[in-house]
Structure 1
């Protein structure tokens, strides 16, 4: 009797397991859209937004709302200047764009400069302290009329932590190096006042954002709009070789890339300016930048085991300091 009950329970359990497996079969996965096709749609939406909305900017130096920006749709017959009207303006606000090569296509990344900033610029591999407000663009039908709508999804007014630009969406890393920090001071109540910081708005195609994955309340394939203020920079050393990432930007343009990422770079560029030994590893991720078999960290450590600051490493003539050195990076003297 006990044996019969055992086999009966085993049979019921087995049937249940197979039943669950069948009912819970994974849904069919839809392949991502073609990047070039989706980008054409995104660019149309972004440029329509730029041409049909105007901005209002708060100038309130020393206060939290300084350089806050509001977007409003231009009513039929309205005379407000569109965002697009500031394209290449000689004064601020100024709408600019830069080409971003990714996925074997060249994106146009628009960004609006409200204020450039007075301090220093990050590279696309630094940490940044920034406040921001994010919206996404989508097409919505109301009474059979399709309209382009911006939907709010997130805001951070008082940032408490740095964002590593190597782990944010690509659009952030491609925009922030175009801006500079400002100054700041501590207040008696423990708050911080920021002044003269860089402030702007970036208009990001989905291929430089979350693309087919989306994020939380952001739908897939949504172009993004971020207004932001750049407060401070944290210089990072990704490979731990004692030389900061920004010092491994050989051509000094503010951007370094890892072309080993074949998802982003299906075709390797013919020139890789930030890779001294041309081994395919960019200097900011290469622990042996000159490819001589000796780690960079070892080569810049003195007899007492203390790292020599980048700026103090002697040039090859042995008696002067040359921060640029050869191609702005460590190369052994012959």
Structure 2
């Protein structure tokens, strides 16, 4: 009898467990994301506390793999270390970033500015990095090895995108590279290096990633070695729905009309950017599509690529005149060949021209699509000049 009661109790317990599990499955609830503004306030408080209770050590050893390595540790009472917030060696800087209808104040340190060029927030970069949580736990690292990342969030890449990277890397410059002739190993010197402190809204927010919990502010120390200029105009594939990047012949960084180093098109994601600050969009024709994503920058009905294409009779040396070997005009004349590319001659004597200012083909008739003016040498070189792909009055349309 006792055995029967024992097994009966076990049976009831099993039924109870199954019933509970089934109920849990049926009643699964999706937890909504936290309010971005509320979470940002909490993140900002945590980041400021971190900056005031931790100190930084930087290795300055140019020419070695350890150059600009960073170690951040918590201050112990009486150890004499000065907090990141109070230290003066690398003054704490910040940048306002609009996203998720919140204006984030993103703190960062410039350990070294760099000696080369700055990427835009849509370029591809070569960097090494280490990512930590606010308890200084390392969650990811390239271990000093250079890795390539696209800063443009809509690029077709498998890597999970960290929005804060695209906002801070443009504040730095690349370094100088050299390649060992025998081993082929590339080394970098005078590269930019820094540390960024990202609120969760500019990181992974409500998604956990490996050992990173949800709503976690992140710290990245990094070195910016090199960059690749991108040309990001894209179309959507009718078969797959994916993005096909075609470009328009003008790299993104040259379509940064206001020259601030950042390119935005809030039209792509209006829910994320419902009230963008005025002046952040670089849009020549005012059609709501920024030039770096617009196949017709000036809205004149002629694509930008068509307007920056050189006539077929003006490629290479023609009748003793060196027109350059490119099919497309560069932004400005290129007078010196790049010694790092010995198999390619980059020299181009002319840049994208302005509307021609020479004589009409038939001076007795008005200018038209069939009676055009001749280009003068200064039309390709004058600085400044309104280039034809940004001048909606030219080419002249057929009557």
TM over 0.5: yes
Pairs within 5 Å for 1:179-190: 179-187=172-180, 188-190=182-184
| Mapped partners of 1:322, 1:280: distance in 2 | 29
Give 5+ residue unaligned stretches, structure 2: 1-20, 154-160, 234-246, 316-326, 333-350, 358-374, 395-399
How far is the alpha carbon of 1:200 from its aligned partner? Answer: 0.5
| Mapped partners of 1:74, 1:23: distance in 2 | 45
Q: Calculate the aligned-residue CA RMSD, in Å.
A: 2.3
**TM-score (ref. length: structure 2):** 0.70
Determine the structure 2 residue equivalent to 1:292: 300
How far is the alpha carbon of 1:23 from its aligned partner? Answer: 7.6
Determine the structure 2 residue equivalent to 1:11: none
Higher relative contact order (CA 8 A, sep 6+): 1
Pairs within 5 Å for 1:4-19: none
| Mapped partners of 1:204, 1:235: distance in 2 | 25
| Mapped partners of 1:245, 1:228: distance in 2 | 24
Deviations 1:72-119 (A, max 9, x none): 111112321211124xx5xx5232101111122211000111000111
| Mapped partners of 2:277, 2:122: distance in 1 | 19
Matching of residue 109 in structure 1 with residue 110 in structure 2: no
Determine the structure 2 residue equivalent to 1:123: 120
| Mapped partners of 1:82, 1:325: distance in 2 | 50
Of the three residues 230, 237, 257, the one matched with 1:236 is: 230
| Mapped partners of 1:160, 1:178: distance in 2 | 19
Of the three residues 285, 288, 294, the one matched with 1:277 is: 285
| Mapped partners of 2:256, 2:79: distance in 1 | 46
Determine the structure 2 residue equivalent to 1:170: 163
Pairs within 5 Å for 1:1-334: 24-25=25-26, 27-86=28-87, 89=88, 92-137=89-134, 149-159=135-145, 161-167=147-153, 168-187=161-180, 188-239=182-233, 240-260=247-267, 261-304=269-312, 306-311=327-332, 312-316=351-355, 319-320=378-379, 321-322=381-382, 325-326=385-386, 330-333=390-393
| Mapped partners of 1:329, 1:106: distance in 2 | 34
- The answer to whether the Cα contact below 8 Å between 1:127 and 1:163 also exists between their aligned partners in 2 is yes
Determine the structure 2 residue equivalent to 1:12: none
How far is the alpha carbon of 1:58 from its aligned partner? Answer: 0.8
- The answer to whether the Cα contact below 8 Å between 2:307 and 2:388 also exists between their aligned partners in 1 is no
How far is the alpha carbon of 1:65 from its aligned partner? Answer: 0.8
How far is the alpha carbon of 1:160 from its aligned partner? Answer: 5.2
Structure of larger gyration radius = 2
Distance 1:291 1:178, change over 3 A: same
Partner of 1:308: helix, strand, or coil? Answer: coil
How far is the alpha carbon of 1:268 from its aligned partner? Answer: 4.3
How far is the alpha carbon of 1:158 from its aligned partner? Answer: 4.6
* Worse-matched range after superposition: 273-282 or 155-164: 155-164
| Mapped partners of 1:219, 1:178: distance in 2 | 28
- The answer to whether the Cα contact below 8 Å between 2:196 and 2:221 also exists between their aligned partners in 1 is yes
| Mapped partners of 1:332, 1:159: distance in 2 | 47
Determine the structure 2 residue equivalent to 1:10: none
Give 5+ residue unaligned stretches, structure 1: 1-19, 138-148
| Mapped partners of 2:276, 2:61: distance in 1 | 47
